[in-house]
Chain A
Amino acid sequence: SQTIHQWPATLVQPVGSPLSLECTVEGTSNPNLYWYRQAAGRGLQLLFYSVGIGQISSEVPQNLSASRPQDRQFILSSKKLLLSDSGFYLCALVGQVNFYGYTFGSGTRLTVV
């Protein structure tokens, strides 16, 4: 079965510092991959999605960027974090064979101080 790994689980970073969150996938090839953010008390905001290596679509212009250097690796980055980047970040995948909805990672709680 397809699984998705996210790390770290929690992260506290100072304003202006860089960020790198990684998501890796097992059990499927050529998945669609997604980065979502949840701000406190709010719903899911789609940040980026990728349909293949090197292919990134941005949904919301902001301080973040994403990359997909390998088929099963999806990275969320920032050069300089802002206070408003705090939130819960979730990676998700959809396999190519059948669409049965998203599989989500366990998330990263980012606090920018």
Chain B
Amino acid sequence: AQSVTQLDSQVPVFEEAPVELRCNYSSSVSVYLFWYVQYPNQGLQLLLKYLSGSTLVKGINGFEAEFNKSQTSFHLRKPSVHISDTAEYFCAVSSSGSARQLTFGSGTQLTVLP
């Protein structure tokens, strides 16, 4: 079985400051990892994904994440946030041998303050 823990339910940060949203997972097999963003009253949009290869993954809107197998983490980072980055962010994991089932974390609300 796999699980995902997003360690912070809410993260307030000032505009142009850096941010890190934390995600830890557990799985007994190789994994695929994802970050999604959800703006109010919208569906989820894929930010970035790790399938294999380089552990540093770059996504849309200036976000990046680093896969750390030893710490079973996949933290999301952005060096300088904008007001428009205010949204809910979801981390998700899928075992590479699974029937394409994603397990989502509980989400982190990022609020960028002026």
Partner of B43, one of A32, A42, A94, A104: A104
The segment from B13-21, B73-81, B97-105 found at the interface with A is B97-105
Residues of B within 8 A of A92 (CB): 44
Interface residues of A, Cβ cutoff 8 Å to B: 6, 32, 42-44, 49, 51, 88, 90, 92, 94, 99-107, 109
B90 touching A102, Cβ below 8 Å: no
The 5 closest A-B pairs by CB, nearest first: A104-B43, A43-B106, A104-B44, A94-B100, A44-B104
B25 contacts partner chain A, Cβ-Cβ < 8 Å: no
B41 touching A43, Cβ below 8 Å: no
B49 touching A101, Cβ below 8 Å: yes
Partner of A104, one of B45, B49, B51: B45
B65 contacts partner chain A, Cβ-Cβ < 8 Å: no
Q: Knowing A43-B105, A102-B44, A107-B41 are in contact, say whether A32-B100 is a contact too (CB < 8 A).
A: yes
How many angstroms between the C-alpha atoms of A9 and B34 in the bound complex?
A: 26
Residues of A within 8 A of B99 (CB): 32, 51
B24 to chain A, nearest CB (A): 15
B34 touching A88, Cβ below 8 Å: no
B42 touching A99, Cβ below 8 Å: no
